A and B are shown apart, each in its own frame.
Chain A
Amino acid sequence: MKILVPVKRVVDTNVKIRVKADGTGVDLANVKMSMNPFDEIAVEEALRLKEAGKATEVVVVSIGSDKSAETLRTGLAMGADRAVLVKTDAASVEPLAVAKLLKAVIATEQPGLVILGKQAIDDDSNQTGQMLAALLGWPQATFASKVVIGDGTVDVTREIDGGLETLQLKLPAIVTTDLRLNEPRYASLPNIMKAKKKPLDETTPEALGVDAAPRLTVLKTVEPTGRTAGVKLGSVDELVAKLKQAGVL
């Protein structure tokens, strides 16, 4: 079975982003970019399934500019076998368009399982996996904390409000990852070197026949109204008095 893992290049999770003063967006110039952390977990899970003999090939896919090739190389360095870049210079490709592009890639690749991050930490949409499942007519298990491949099925334990839930899906299926599914590996230097020689195919939305035009217009982007630091108090009694004053006790 082949596993497909879509990955997104996003602002590194440790970067404190700045909103442009003119309200036109977030300043991404000279900011460190990395693979979306949930996608790293997805790559790791696919690799573990391959290492356990449950999968034969792991293919990573990204949608974006030339720079997204670096993100794909990260996936290859972790251990993925091949990469596909759907190249576009569009400033933003929305989850619905991403799902359509992935569907077109899947028509060629024919994976038995697609593992995605549950959300990207830039737009925080949490949509792509569910949308892809819908467009393919496949079952979905979002927010996975455990994935067990069976005979033509996959059992997925999901993190839900109130606890955990386990679903069994018929393959092919869509799984999206939550934080506690695994701890992604670091790529070793020899593997980073090896990754440079692994195949990376390119295609485009036009070649895939997908209209990736956005449906949403961002009118403005602003900083949230900040909180200002309050006061540090000297004792528990002082704290109790302040909380009583504030009327929250």
Chain B
Amino acid sequence: MATLIIAEHDDVHLNEATAKALSAAQALGKPIDILVAGHQAKAVADAAAQLAGVRTVLLADGESLANRRAEPLADLVLSLADKYEAIVAPATSAGKNVAPRVAALLDVMQVSEITKVVAPDTFERPIYAGNAIETVQTSDKKLVLTVRIAAFPAAATGGNAAIETIAAPADAGLSRFVGAELSVSDRPELASARVIVSGGRALGSADKFQEVIAPLADQLKAAIGASRAAVDAGYAPNDWQVGQTGKVVAPELYIAVGISGAIQHLAGMKDSKVIVAINKDGDAPIFQVADYGLVDDLFTVVPALTKALAN
């Protein structure tokens, strides 16, 4: 028996989350296939075939799989499930959307957002916003897992797996894609960025957020993140939110600007390698997790830091 990974992609590019889920899947010790379900997604299958340690890439290409709606995608995975012992998805919004649907159809209790494979049936996963780590063992015959991507390295490339084309499922017509508003940015993706500059409510407005945070992020070639307070206040779009219910990140360098450090925010960034906090309140909880802190006004410190880095 083998492991099936549901690839994360946008029909054009294979998302790095897939390579990270692959690292987790390798620890299960079984042959690994990757399912690329999409519409006109051949380029994604080609990229998946280059990941090291993949047996076969299954390419299901059809209109019903455009935009990865949960209903047809879950039907497709279910039709393949007999041949697999484990079904693995990265814990992206698409993965979190479809994996439990698959698990329920298989009568399996999913293990969500694993951060470590202890044994092929035993996993570590964070609970309570990462304030506790539980080790769980499943008694189900099949496994359905989602993988916290910040917790695993991306698997290497250099593979040359065969690509097998499989039929796309018929669309039962339960749901219909209406449209999307996706942010267009030249910056690295938040989930996999090496450096992240995050802003909080102290920025005061959307304009100030851009004016202060963007130049520093440009200088560091960083992704931009935000606290929930900043997103709720409309300073930053929802998909920038770092935290328990937003994105969980673990960059090399995380710079928290004007973020007080609620436990829900810390849950999303405390595994970063180096954390810098800039906040004028020296008692802010963010300083309890920061390696380096500057207790000062962000509106003077951040431009100064941007300038110092440029020199």
Contact = CB atoms under 8 A, between A and B. Distances in A.
A240 B176 contact: no
B293 A230 contact: yes
Interface stretch (B33-41, B50-58, B68-76, B80-88): B68-76
A96 B232 contact: no
Contacts, number: 249
A168 B97 CA distance: 16
A151 interface: no
A229 B291 CA distance: 6
A26 B129 CA distance: 13
Interface string A14-44: 0011010000001000000000001000000
A164 interface: yes
B109 A94 contact: yes
B136 A222 contact: no
Given A168-B175, A233-B293, A240-B309, A220 B134 contact: yes
Interface stretch (A47-55, A75-83, A153-161, A201-209): A153-161
Interface in A205-249: 214-224, 227, 229-233, 235-237, 239-240, 242-243, 246, 248-249
Nearest to A13: B264
Interface string B111-137: 111000000001000111111111111
A140 interface: yes
B292 A215 contact: no
Given A95-B109, A217-B137, A233-B293, A161 B239 contact: yes
Contacts of B247: 161
Interface stretch (B24-32, B162-170, B179-187, B207-215): B179-187
B218 interface: no
Interface in A103-119: 118-119
A236 B304 contact: yes
Interface stretch (A60-68, A124-132, A188-196): A124-132
Given A17-B132, A168-B175, A239-B276, A219 B137 contact: yes
B132 A26 contact: yes
B180 A163 contact: yes
Chain A facing B: main interface SS: mixed
Interface in B129-147: 129-140
B294 A159 contact: no
A164 B104 CA distance: 26
Chain B facing A: main interface SS: mixed
Most chain B beta-carbon neighbours within 10 Å: one of A118, A128, A219: A219
B232 A159 contact: no
Contacts of A140: 70-71, 97, 101, 175
Contact of A215 (B109, B179, B195, B253): B109
Q: What interface size band does chain B fall in?
A: 35 or more
A99 B69 CA distance: 20
B235 interface: no
A246 B290 CA distance: 14
B280 interface: no
Nearest to B185: A162
B1 interface: no
Interface in A147-190: 155, 158-170, 178-180
Contacts of A162: 182-183, 239
A221 B135 CA distance: 6
Given A121-B128, A143-B93, A167 B274 contact: no
A90 interface: no
A232 B294 contact: yes
B95 to A, nearest CB: 10
Contacts of A3: none
Contacts of B74: 134
Given A131-B104, A216-B111, A165 B177 contact: yes
Interface in B223-275: 228, 231-232, 237-239, 244-245, 247, 252-253, 263-264, 270, 273-275
A227 B195 CA distance: 19
B67 interface: yes
A224 B191 CA distance: 21
5 closest Cβ pairs, A-B complex: A131-B104, A130-B100, A215-B109, A230-B291, A139-B174
12 contacts: A96-B110, A124-B126, A124-B244, A134-B103, A139-B174, A164-B180, A165-B177, A168-B176, A170-B174, A178-B238, A230-B292, A240-B309
Given A162-B183, A230-B275, 6 more contacts: A19-B132, A124-B127, A131-B104, A166-B179, A224-B133, A239-B276
